[in-house]
């Protein structure tokens, strides 16, 4: 996963934040979704660059975020979580591989793990299945 942040750093340095957004799509979605979800992806990109939203992060801010990601390791602290927890992951996720979601869920006491047949953009690619699983989890925690 460190190689991903190294590559993201190079993309930012060479093409800025817009280039990172475009490149990240490859990491976010499965090849199948690129075909069947083209309109959805185009809408997401348009919304991201819409003038009505907040100003896009500068390359310096993006690089600082990558540094923070590389330094952020709280796996050993996850055992202190006491509230009901649902960890969702994509079996084809390149950004946070499925084994990492499994590791996170195993580290949180009594956490539930929901794995989907998709990539990092699972809440978009498998919106209905994700929403059903989340609703069931929330209903069970009442």
End residue of a domain, out of 71, 94, 123? 71
Reference 121, options 28, 38, 40, 47; nearest CA is 28
Contact criterion met (CB below 8 Å) for 90 and 119: yes
Say whether both 7 and 67 belong to one domain. Answer: yes
* Tokens encoding 9: 């750093």
State how far the alpha carbon of 90 is from the alpha carbons of 29, 51, 75, 87, 95, in Å.
Answer: 10, 31, 19, 10, 10
Nearest to 66 by CA among 5, 16, 23, 17: 5
Do 63 and 51 lie in one domain? The reply is yes
> Which band of pLDDT confidence, cut at 50, 70 and 90, is reported for residue 139?
very high
Residue 100 shares a structural domain with residue 134: yes
Determine the Cα–Cα distance for residues 39 and 45; give it in Å rounded to an integer: 10
pLDDT in tens, 3-57: 888 888 999 999 988 888 888 888 888 888 888 888 888 888 787 777 666 677 8
Same domain assignment for residues 18 and 49: yes
The total number of structural domains in the chain stands at 2
Domain that holds residue 120: 75-140
One domain for residues 83 and 56: no
Q: What is the mean pLDDT of the chain?
A: 89
Report residue 113: phi and psi, to 5°: -115, 125
């Amino acid at each position: 996963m460190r190689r991903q942040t190294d590559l993201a750093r190079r993309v930012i340095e060479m093409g800025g934040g817009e280039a990172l957004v475009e490149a990240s799509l490859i990491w976010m979605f499965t090849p199948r979704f690129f075909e069947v979800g083209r309109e959805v992806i185009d809408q997401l990109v348009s919304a991201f660059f819409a003038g009505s939203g907040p100003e896009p992060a500068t390359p310096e801010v993006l690089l600082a975020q990558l540094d923070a990601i590389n330094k952020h390791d709280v796996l050993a602290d996850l055992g202190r979580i006491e509230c009901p927890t649902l960890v969702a992951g994509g079996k084809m996720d390149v950004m946070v591989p499925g084994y990492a979601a499994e590791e996170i869920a195993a580290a949180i006491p009594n956490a539930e793990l929901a794995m989907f047949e998709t990539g990092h953009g699972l809440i978009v690619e498998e919106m209905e299945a994700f929403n059903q699983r989340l609703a069931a989890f929330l209903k069970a925690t009442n």
